[in-house]
């Protein structure tokens, strides 16, 4: 059990009278008066000092320490003194080691978190500081869609600090701290006419982008990394086993998102489109490093490549191929609605309209959780209203109306 030591006064016992009196020590008036001495759960002696007139605070601190030890919540007060900018370096090591993910994490943290929190100790990060940071993002006119993952990064860092017993609690989880949340935005699939207009306007070399996006639900990087060798004609499936992504401005091959390979049923019309395309543009072997610059070289016969026989680069394709197709088709490009991801949404809506289950659609899209697929696309599922009416009519037969039809 710890105790509070008064460094300015001590008790002296008279050997003859046994009377105890308080006398000043040699430290009287020097430094902090009260020193709390205690042992941590590992048996190491610790201390913390308090100024004059703060005896009650010292006693409360000791009670809190002993209570935390009993409840297994003890945190060394000095553990939280590490600077935020120092701690995040160790935090990076515990995150995904995927090169592109690490690059994105470091960019976000070093650009938006370290400049604000970097010089502060972990324990100095309190609710007012976090609120001020959120307000600053709003003043900088960062969208809520961008603010939310930044907030989640900060919360993840502080969560790790709590787990490592450097902090008592994560202030991002306080009730008075509002997590930036963009308004819910329902997916609105393209009408088929828009798909065909864009597809016709794409240069012939790049038409598979529309076919594989809307016909197989593939992501942009997966389309860039697709090979005719991934077509299983007997099973009538497309095997999605890689993507092309950019790491440190270098094109690399990598596994699909979440490192999940998958197989998607291939419609006969999709296969016909690919066969017709390959007659005009035979596949080209492209060699890229695996996962990161300098990684193991991998050679793949790519279905769709650039005129100089290289893999497609996302930004160059978007600005030089995809967006201009809208202008040629006489369509207005809408930033949040007309990226290549719109093809996946169209694929999902058509699949649901034709009776494909949410679970099967989730697998086809490469989602890690069918619940996520349901949340995104539930409003596109065919209405069950007619089935419900039919079921009720089986119990209570409807009357015939004058026009000969049954009432609902």
Mean pLDDT throughout 223-237? 96
For the chain, the average pLDDT equals 91
Q: Is 155 left (phi over 0), alpha (psi -120 to 50) or beta?
A: alpha
- Of 68-72, 241-245, 391-395, the range with the lowest mean pLDDT is 391-395
Query: What CA–CA distance (Å, rounded) separates 200 from 194?
Result: 10
Ordered by start, the domain boundaries in the chain are: 3-74, 80-173, 192-380
80 alpha-carbon distance from chain centroid:
26
Q: Tell me what pLDDT residue 408 has.
A: 42
Residue 133 pLDDT grade (very low, low, confident, very high; cuts 50, 70, 90):
very high
Proportion of the chain above pLDDT 70, given as a percent:
96
Q: Tell me what pLDDT residue 369 has.
A: 85
CATH 1.10.443.10 fits 192-380, yes or no: yes
| pLDDT: which is higher, 43 or 191 | 191
* Full-model pTM: 0.74
First-to-last alpha carbon distance for the chain, in angstroms, is 77
Q: Are 206 and 304 in contact (CB under 8 A)?
A: yes
**Does pLDDT of 175 surpass 50?**
yes
Inter-CA distances, 133 with 108, 127, 138, 308, Å: 14, 10, 9, 46
The CATH-assigned architecture of domain 80-173 is: Orthogonal Bundle (1.10)
Query: What CA–CA distance (Å, rounded) separates 392 from 269?
Result: 40
| Sequential DSSP letters for 45-61 | EEEEEE-TT-HHHHHHH
Q: Tell me what pLDDT residue 384 has.
A: 55
Inter-CA distances, 191 with 198, 324, 347, Å: 11, 19, 11
């Amino acid at each position: 059990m710890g105790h509070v030591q008064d460094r300015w006064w001590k008790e002296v016992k008279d050997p003859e009278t046994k009377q105890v009196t308080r006398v000043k020590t040699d430290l009287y008036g020097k430094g902090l008066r009260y020193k709390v001495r205690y042992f941590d759960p590992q048996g190491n002696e610790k201390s913390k000092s308090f100024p004059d007139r703060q005896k009650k605070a010292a006693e409360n601190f000791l009670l809190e320490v002993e209570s935390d030890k009993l409840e297994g919540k003890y945190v060394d007060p000095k553990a939280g003194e590490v600077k935020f900018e120092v701690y995040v370096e160790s935090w990076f090591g515990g995150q995904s080691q995927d090169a592109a993910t690490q690059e994105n994490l470091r960019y976000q943290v070093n650009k938006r978190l370290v400049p604000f929190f970097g010089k502060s100790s972990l324990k100095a990060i309190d609710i007012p500081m976090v609120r001020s940071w959120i307000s600053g993002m709003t003043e900088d006119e960062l969208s809520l869609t961008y603010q939310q993952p930044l907030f989640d990064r900060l919360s993840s860092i502080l969560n790790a600090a709590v787990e490592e017993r450097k902090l008592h609690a994560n202030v991002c989880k306080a009730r008075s701290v509002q997590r930036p949340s963009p308004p819910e935005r329902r997916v609105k699939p393209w009408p088929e006419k828009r798909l065909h207009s864009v597809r016709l306007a794409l240069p012939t070399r790049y038409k598979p982008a529309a076919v594989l996006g809307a016909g197989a639900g593939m992501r942009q990087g997966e389309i860039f990394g697709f090979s005719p060798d991934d077509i299983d004609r007997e099973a009538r499936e497309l095997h999605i086993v890689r993507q092309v992504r950019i790491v440190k401005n270098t094109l690399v091959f990598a596994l699909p998102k979440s490192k999940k390979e998958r197989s998607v049923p291939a419609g006969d019309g999709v296969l016909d489109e690919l066969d017709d395309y390959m007659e005009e543009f035979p596949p080209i072997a492209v060699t890229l490093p695996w996962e990161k610059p300098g990684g193991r070289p991998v050679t793949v016969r790519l279905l769709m490549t650039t005129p100089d026989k290289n893999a497609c680069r996302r930004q160059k394709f978007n600005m030089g191929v995809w967006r201009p197709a809208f202008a040629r088709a006489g369509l207005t490009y809408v930033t949040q609605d007309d990226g290549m991801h719109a093809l996946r949404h169209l694929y999902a809506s058509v699949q649901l309209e034709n009776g494909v289950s949410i679970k099967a659609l989730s697998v086809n899209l490469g989602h890690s959780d069918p619940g996520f697929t349901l949340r995104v696309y539930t409003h596109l599922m065919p209405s069950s209203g007619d089935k419900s009416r039919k079921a009720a009519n089986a119990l209570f037969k409807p009357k015939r109306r004058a026009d000969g039809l049954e009432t609902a």
